[in-house]
Amino acid sequence: MVSSKKSNTIAAVGTVIFMVLVFLLLWFICIDRIQEPEDEGIEIAFGNAEEGGGFQPEQVTGGLTEETVAPPPAPQDPSNNDLIAQEDEKSVEVQHQREEAEKARQQAERERQERDRALAEQRAKEQAAIAKANQLGSLFGNNSGGSGSGDTQGDSQRGNSEVGKGSSGGTSWSLAGRSVKALPKPSNDFKQEGKVVVAIIVDGSGKVVSAKATEGTTISNDATIQLALKAAYKAEFSFTDRPDKQFGTITYIFKFN
């Protein structure tokens, strides 16, 4: 009887202990499941930035924060539209340059033609003057000494009062509508024989503005010809109110005594 009670007591105690252990086990399991998740904290990277993650402090150089500079964008190939626009701009510029060059060429050509025309007109006037002077000078081609239509006597430095033509001291002249006021005679420093026919152009005041040896001259000595031209520039004729210049001749006869 006593043994039976003892066994029951042991069994009861064992059952209680077993239940306590089961309760504690279940308690710890449930407690772990219902606990809130803990803060995972901050990741700390170890090693190179490419391999690790997390927060990286900015590097400070010389007291200034080094900022990360983004690399420049890679150049992109121009599109077809861009290429066409560039070609159009180049074409317009080339066309403009060609037009400017053509304008400059045309302007230069016009200026050249104007110069040529002016030179041609000047040559024509000179040729006409020479031809007229030759024609007038032929009237006195055979004159010598005191021959001529005017008075053959008088001062060699002064002309006669004949109008249009005359001679004095071996010097003949022809100038339509004019009378001579002074007709200096050149010196014969070089002992020449012959004549020098000078084509002259006279302005309204009577001054000789152009003189040139022309057809009919028989002296080839240039120094003597220059003496005749120098004398021709000193000749004076009567005044006229005509605005244009007149053409005439002076024939100088040189004799070596």
Is there a domain that residue 211 lies in? yes
Amino acid of residue 82: D
For residue 175, give its domain range.
139-254
Per-residue pLDDT of the chain (257 residues; tens, 9 = 90+): 557 777 788 888 888 898 888 888 887 777 666 555 555 556 665 555 555 555 555 555 555 455 566 677 666 666 666 667 777 777 888 888 889 999 999 999 988 888 888 878 766 766 666 666 555 545 444 333 333 333 333 334 444 456 788 887 779 999 988 999 999 999 888 889 999 999 999 999 999 999 999 999 999 999 999 999 999 999 999 998 877 889 999 999 998 87
User: Would you say the pTM of this structure is higher than 0.85?
Assistant: no
For residues 52 and 46, is the Cβ–Cβ distance under 8 A? yes
* Each residue's pLDDT tens digit, 136-151: 545 444 333 333 333 3
Is there a domain that residue 210 lies in? yes
Give which of 97, 116, 117 is closest to 105, Cα–Cα: 97
Is there a domain that residue 194 lies in? yes
Is there a domain that residue 63 lies in? no
Measure the CA–CA gap between 166 and 148, rounded to whole angstroms: 6
Q: CA distances (Å), 244 to each of 91, 124, 205, 216, 240, in order?
A: 57, 16, 11, 26, 10
pLDDT at 160: 47
pLDDT at 67: 58
Q: Where are the beta strands (DSSP E) in the chain?
A: 60-61, 64-65, 163-168, 171-182, 194-202, 208-213, 236-237, 246-254
How many folded domains does the chain comprise? 1
Is there a domain that residue 148 lies in? yes
Structure tokens at 151: 């008075």
Is there a domain that residue 240 lies in? yes
Is there a domain that residue 65 lies in? no
Is there a domain that residue 250 lies in? yes
* 61 torsion bin: left (phi>0), alpha (psi -120 to 50), beta (else): beta
CB atoms within 10 A of CB 193: 13
